[in-house]
Amino acid sequence: MSELDPKLTFDTFVVGPANRLASAAARRAAESPGTSYNPLFLYSAPGLGKTHILTAIAHKSQAERVEYMGLEEYLDRLEAGLQAGDRERGVYGDLDILLLDDVQFLTGQPEAQEMLLKTLDQLTTAGGQIVLASDRPPADINGLDARLLSRFSGGLIVDLGPPDFETRVAIIHKKSEARRQTLEDGVAEAVAKAPLKNVRELGGVLNKIFAMQDLEERMVTIDEVAALMEEQAKAAALSVSSDEFGSFLNELTSTLESAVEEKEEPWRKALREAVETADRRGFSTLRLEAIQDSASEPKGWQDAIELYKGDIQRLHEIEKELDRLGNPWPEAAQGLLDDPDRLDEAEALLTSVRERQRPFAKLAEGDQLHDLDGFESIAIKAAAQLVGAEKPKYNPLFLWSSDEAVAKTLLAAVGRTYQEARPELSMAVASVPEFASDFIRALGEGVAGAWRERWWTVDLLLIHGIQDLVETERAQDEFFHLFEALRRRGARMMFVADRAPSAVAGIDERLRSRFEGGLVLELSTGTAGRFELIAPDEGMGEEADDKIFFPDLDDERTKGERGGGRSRPQPVPIEASQKGGVWFPGRENAVIHWPRFEELLIEELD
């Protein structure tokens, strides 16, 4: 464990309105690990007490196995374990408490995220506690795995705000007592009023005051505090003056450059103008600058400029497409859309956003719950309660019948009822094979994270063919994580199979127990009806109509990379047989309609 600062305890932590909740939750985690808030996620701007709280937990806890470390140390131990051939080292699943600082550095560390996910699973299963600290909330950590985001959201996420005036005064007095210093009346209040960003800066000012009192053997006065603040203001003014002088130098440089422009070689002038134009628009020009710095005319410089222009145009199109789709991760786009050298990353972000925003198929028109006849009343009531306005008593609802088409009819009616009553909420309807193939597709396209976030945020999940889970491996594990994520969110779930959960051989026991933890009903009566999905209008192919600042850019360069127009919704039958490419219903689902009833009579009855 990292060496702990003995001064960072709960006794030395000053509690105020901005950190009271975080302090209380941390004390509870230290005194009763794993019983309440797990994981506990603390975040704040630097210097507001996150590390103090983590260290205080380590000091306070009576547990035997407590580890405190920064994420960098976590990664170092993980790397050492991987090099030694031990993938489990660094997981720390056998700890009583794991305290992990600087979690924001998980960005770009997929292996670390995977191991941290295992840590969370193992610790929570074993009753251990995990507390994490970051300089931003989980939703603002770029590239965070949706499974980790779901785990963090399932615990307690709390921020530490800047201390108010009274709390700052209390902090000053606490630090003075710890350093055995006495302040003149009014000095603490004067320092507390200073425009300091955080507690760390506050401590820096106090250190200067304490040093003056120790070395000069006298008390610092209120007037001297004001002078210290004035020194800071002068330093800021000097910075501004430096900026103004820098502007003068820039103007002088521009004047000198203009004097030599006439003597520029054509290739150097073309590169310079391209760099200046792109720079004014805020784009990174490192690629062109590297060519521009050549001592002699580089080969292919014209092609390099054209390629750069094409990349800029593509970034512009990606930006427009992200705006149209309502990019759910705007922070991930920062720095990407103005750097042509990161075009591949921008393309990957767009692909992930398209996946995240891809709508689910909807059920075609048909019977709703109030239209059904012949089903047991208990099944109808349980289904109606599942999609009712109030929180359902029975969730998940598991229906099974030897004729699965009957159970699917009720599932479809549930979906249509929900679809009409709550159109603003999301619903996913699929068979187990469809779920598995969709997951495999996402893995192949490299968008598994966005795929999870899309599925894990539905409000109603309707899955049929549960018995087919035994035919899957990785997809079954993903289905378990989906179930857990939706359960934590309070989402509604209904499953259909041709047998009871206890009769599905080879299924993950964790899933079986969760199915049986809801309401399991056998449908012995009912009539199979229409089950049909309509593919959604995904609207993912709009082209960018406008171009930017390079009028000679060939539009054909990127036309192939942009999609076509919107597609018309088409019915997608779930139960269908194919005859020459045309869909025909089965006999049991066919209905004959005669326009005039009298023509249906075989003979007139007396």
- Tell me, yes or no, whether 271 and 407 share the same domain: no
Largest CA distance in the chain: 124
- Tell me, yes or no, whether 79 and 204 share the same domain: no
pLDDT in tens, 481-515: 899 889 888 999 999 999 999 899 888 888 888 89
Distance CA 316, CA 342 (A): 13
The lowest-confidence range among 75-89, 243-257, 273-287, 421-435 is 243-257
- Is residue 591 situated within a structural domain? no
Global pTM exceeds 0.85:
no
pLDDT > 90 fraction of the chain, expressed in percent and rounded: 18
Structure confidence at residue 570 (pLDDT):
37
Distance CA 314, CA 559 (A): 10
Instruction: Give the confidence band of 263 by pLDDT, cuts at 50, 70, 90.
Output: low
- Tell me, yes or no, whether 149 and 179 share the same domain: no
- Is residue 564 situated within a structural domain? no
H helices of 398-538, where? 404-421, 432-445, 448-456, 474-489, 509-516
- Tell me, yes or no, whether 472 and 499 share the same domain: yes
- Tell me, yes or no, whether 179 and 44 share the same domain: no
Contact 113/149 with Cβ under 8 angstroms?
A: no
Structure confidence at residue 605 (pLDDT):
40
- Is residue 593 situated within a structural domain? no
Instruction: Give the confidence band of 231 by pLDDT, cuts at 50, 70, 90.
Output: low
Two tokens, residue 329? 């991760």
CA angle 556, 271, 315 (to 5 degrees): 40
Two tokens, residue 151? 């785990």
- How crowded is the C-beta side of 453, counted as CA atoms within 13 Å? 20
- Tell me, yes or no, whether 389 and 302 share the same domain: no
Q: How many domains does the chain have?
A: 4
Which carries the bigger pLDDT value, residue 606 or residue 178? 178
- Asked whether the predicted pLDDT for residue 565 surpasses 50, the reply is no
pLDDT in tens, 177-218: 777 888 878 777 877 777 666 666 667 777 777 777 777 778
- Tell me, yes or no, whether 517 and 436 share the same domain: yes
- Is residue 602 situated within a structural domain? no
Structure confidence at residue 548 (pLDDT):
54
Q: Select the highest-mean-pLDDT range: 26-35, 212-221, 596-605.
A: 26-35
Mean pLDDT calculated for residue range 455-471: 92
The lowest-confidence range among 14-18, 281-285, 444-448 is 14-18
Distance CA 475, CA 249 (A): 62
Two tokens, residue 64? 């035997």
Structure confidence at residue 12 (pLDDT):
83
pLDDT > 70 fraction of the chain, expressed in percent and rounded: 77
Q: Which domain holds residue 419?
A: 362-534
Domain boundary among 329, 357, 385: 357
Structure confidence at residue 82 (pLDDT):
65
Would strands 532-534 and 427-431 be described as parallel, antiparallel, or unpaired? unpaired
Mean pLDDT calculated for residue range 556-582: 36
Q: Is 499 exposed, middle or buried (0-12, 13-18, 19+ CB in 10 A)?
A: middle
- Asked whether the predicted pLDDT for residue 466 surpasses 90, the reply is yes
pLDDT in tens, 287-345: 888 888 888 888 989 998 999 999 989 999 999 999 998 888 887 787 788 889 989 98
- Tell me, yes or no, whether 91 and 150 share the same domain: yes
Structure confidence at residue 93 (pLDDT):
65
Structure confidence at residue 401 (pLDDT):
92
- Which strand (E) or helix (H) includes residue 323? helix 301-325
Distance CA 273, CA 278 (A): 9
Distance CA 35, CA 28 (A): 9
Which carries the bigger pLDDT value, residue 117 or residue 255? 117
What's the mean per-residue pLDDT of the chain? 77
- Asked whether the predicted pLDDT for residue 220 surpasses 70, the reply is yes
CATH label of the domain that carries residue 501: 3.40.50.300
- Asked whether the predicted pLDDT for residue 259 surpasses 50, the reply is no
- Is residue 150 situated within a structural domain? yes
CB neighbourhood size of 586 (10 A): 11
- Tell me, yes or no, whether 179 and 60 share the same domain: no
Q: What is the DSSP string of 550-584?
A: -TT--THHHHTTS---PPPP-EEESS-EEETTEEE
- Tell me, yes or no, whether 466 and 484 share the same domain: yes
Which of 11, 248, 35 has the alpha carbon at shortest distance from 126?
A: 35
- Tell me, yes or no, whether 225 and 302 share the same domain: no
* CA dihedral sign of residues 470, 472, 476, 482: negative
- Is residue 571 situated within a structural domain? no
Q: Is 505 exposed, middle or buried (0-12, 13-18, 19+ CB in 10 A)?
A: exposed
Two tokens, residue 166? 């009274």
257: left (phi over 0), alpha (psi -120 to 50) or beta: alpha
Two tokens, residue 331? 């922070």
